[in-house]
Amino acid sequence: MPSTKRSVDSLFINSSQQGTEAFQTALHTSIDSLLEEWKKEKGPYSGILPGKLAASVKSLFQFHPSGEAIDSVFRDVKEHLLPNLVDVSHPKCLAHLHCPPLIPALAAEVVVSSFNQSMDSFDQSGIASLVEERMLKWLCEKFTYGERADGTFTSGGTQSNYMGLLLARDSFCENTWQWSVQKKGLPSEAHRMRILCSKHAHFTVKKSASQLGLGEDAVVLVETDEYHRMDMSDLKQKLSDLKADELLPFAVVATCGTTDFGSIDPVSDIYDIAKPYGLWIHADAAYGGALVLSEAYRGKLSGIELADSITIDFHKQFYQPISCGAFLLKDQRHFGLIDYHADYLNPLEDELEGILHLVNKSVQTTRRFDALKLLLSLRLIGEEGFSKIIDHTIRFAKDVAALIEQNDHLEVINPEPEINAVVFRFMDEKNANEINKTIHRTLFQTGTAVIAKTVVNGSTCLKFTLLNPRTTITHIEEILSDIVDIGIAHIQSGRVLR
Ligand SMILES: Cc1ncc(COP(=O)(O)O)c(C=O)c1O
């Protein structure tokens, strides 16, 4: 490998000619490689499993002491990396709440990464802090969240859910025992504190409880109705049982779009039941939050404005590249519970002078300028554009559910999808779980389609998460035909078809 002599100027973006040219070459080389990959006729994944990827990984990890030419590096990237990535923009990639990213957001990513602003303090971000603040204000208005509302951008739903429960915990301790968890840690009574959520809530509710020092056992699971939404009579019962046992329920998580079914808990009813107990209501709208941009389906979120805090994920149905999420807070004063001042970063005197340091509202310090991606996407395609895409995918999911229902070998678990996830299974009296697992694995290993697998009431099921508006009914028909072929072949021969 020829050694490469580079000047420092050609390694960093700056006003020098060399830096500019090097940046352009790097960008073009990387874009050309992506375009070459996307032009290939192929499925959403190479099908190669981890054991067989070791050689490709080894080829990528060859460091030359003096570096290499960009062409040589990208030769390996094209040969070993790109073909073995999961192509989330492929119309047959339907597994997770994992979206094909919008082109304006990708363009914004270049700006975000190149300027590398950090949102913790104004002297690292300039106008970016104001843009993020304005975007949060716009989001609060969209959720009709009132004058006192505010928010912060987060790495995604996990961090937003964590923040909701963190503020709920600290606010409860402050109100109940005039106890500052921030200063003194958990009070001795903390072992009695309880969080409620439905049994279909995201696992990060339990994970947050464990990280917040309350333990997973502090999470009480509420039963769900036939549509997988939180059951109100069980919520009432669980609350009164907790009280009778002298336990301390302090928060309830309403899921607005459960991961498997997209089911939306009735936030208004939860509010009516939980508020008299003084509970903090956190709405996990990581999945369903995008409905706020939908003309046709916005009403499904009604009542969400009653929640004390809301999780939104832009890297789901807002079609933003990872990572991009937000945490909205109905009363911004609660951000005071996590406020810290560091002399080098956000001294108190700056705050008194009105200098904006967004670190005050975040559990992160250094943080990306992800708001720009959403801003450019909204400017380029408009709210109507978003609405059309979201509405289309929801209608499409209904068509897909109807199509699956017509198939004698398949059973739909949610014939009327709430958003755009369709859960179904290949039917077999003896061996359904094993067959559905085989179908899922075979589709992945042949690179035919990437679909999801989950468990509903002990049964292994398959799932299409239909975020991609470029997936057509023909794509679905082809995948269903493959599914049925694999299932039948498994029954007939007891082994995998391909
Ligand atoms: C309902 C719900 N909440 C939270 C999360 C976690 O979000 P993230 O993966 O962005 O951290 C997910 C992820 O799928 C989710 O479905």
Q: CB 485: neighbour CB atoms within 10 A?
A: 15
Q: State the pTM of this model.
A: 0.96
Distance, in Å, from the CA atom of 324 to the CA atom of 112, rounded to the nearest integer, reads 12
CB 393 within 8 A of CB 288: no
Q: Phi then psi for 112, rounded to 5 degrees?
A: -55, -50
Give every CB contact of residue 239 below 8 A, 6+ residues apart in sequence: 196, 249, 273, 274, 277
DSSP 403-451: HHHT-TTEEES-SS-SSSEEEEEE--TTTHHHHHHHHHHHHHHTTS-EE
Taking only the tens place, the pLDDT of each residue in 264-314 is 999 999 999 999 999 999 999 999 999 999 999 999 999 999 999 999 999
In this structure, the dihedral spanned by the alpha carbons of residues 41, 43, 46 and 47, taken in order and rounded to 10 degrees, is -150
Structure tokens at 413: 């678990």
Distance, in Å, from the CA atom of 339 to the CA atom of 350, rounded to the nearest integer, reads 14
pLDDT at 497: 43
pLDDT at 382: 98
Q: How far is the CA of 47 from the centre of ligand 1 (A)?
A: 25
Ligand 1 atom with the smallest distance to the CA of 325 is 10
Pick from 129, 128, 121, 137: nearest CA to 357: 121
pLDDT at 13: 86
Q: How far is the CA of 286 from the centre of ligand 1 (A)?
A: 6
Give every CB contact of residue 336 below 8 A, 6+ residues apart in sequence: none
The structure tokens 């990060």 sit at 204
Pick from 285, 316, 324: nearest CA to 155: 324
CA angle (132, 295, 315) in 5-degree steps: 40
pLDDT at 1: 47
pLDDT at 4: 66
Ligand 1 atom with the smallest distance to the CA of 157 is 7
- CA–chain centroid gap for 427, Å, is 31
Distance, in Å, from the CA atom of 262 to the CA atom of 229, rounded to the nearest integer, reads 9
Amino acid sitting at position 362: S
Give every CB contact of residue 443 below 8 A, 6+ residues apart in sequence: 449, 450, 451, 479, 482, 483, 486
List ligand 1's pocket residues with C-beta within 6 A.
Answer: 97, 156-158, 161, 202, 204, 255, 257, 259, 284, 286-287, 313, 325
pLDDT at 496: 45
Asked whether the CA dihedral 21, 26, 30, 33 is positive or negative, the reply is positive
Report the nearest-CA residue for atom 16 of ligand 1: 259
pLDDT at 6: 84
Ligand 1 atom with the smallest distance to the CA of 97 is 14
Distance, in Å, from the CA atom of 421 to the CA atom of 401, rounded to the nearest integer, reads 9
Amino acid sitting at position 40: K
The structure tokens 């990959």 sit at 37
The structure tokens 């999801």 sit at 452
Report the nearest-CA residue for atom 7 of ligand 1: 157
Q: Which of 203, 259, 311, 465 to mutate to test the pocket of ligand 1 (most atoms within 8 A of CB)?
A: 259
Amino acid sitting at position 148: R
The structure tokens 């304005």 sit at 134
Q: Which of 160, 161, 200, 204 to mutate to test the pocket of ligand 1 (most atoms within 8 A of CB)?
A: 204
Q: How far is the CA of 203 from the centre of ligand 1 (A)?
A: 9
Per-residue CA distances from 79 to 84, 450, 485, 498 (Å): 9, 22, 32, 25
Taking only the tens place, the pLDDT of each residue in 334-352 is 999 999 999 999 999 998 8
pLDDT at 5: 75
Q: Counting Cβ atoms within 10 Å, is residue 496 exposed (0-12), middle (13-18) or buried (19+)?
A: middle
pLDDT at 346: 95
Give every CB contact of residue 354 below 8 A, 6+ residues apart in sequence: none
pLDDT at 494: 63
Amino acid sitting at position 294: S
Distance, in Å, from the CA atom of 94 to the CA atom of 476, rounded to the nearest integer, reads 10
Taking only the tens place, the pLDDT of each residue in 30-79 is 999 999 999 999 999 999 999 999 999 999 999 999 999 999 999 999 99
What is the biggest distance separating any 2 CA atoms in the chain, rounded to whole angstroms?
A: 76
User: Which segments of the chain have a pLDDT < 50?
Assistant: 1-2, 496-498
Q: Phi then psi for 307, rounded to 5 degrees?
A: -70, 150
Ligand 1 atom with the smallest distance to the CA of 158 is 11
Amino acid sitting at position 319: Y
pLDDT at 36: 95
Report the nearest-CA residue for atom 8 of ligand 1: 157
DSSP state, residue 116: T
pLDDT at 150: 98
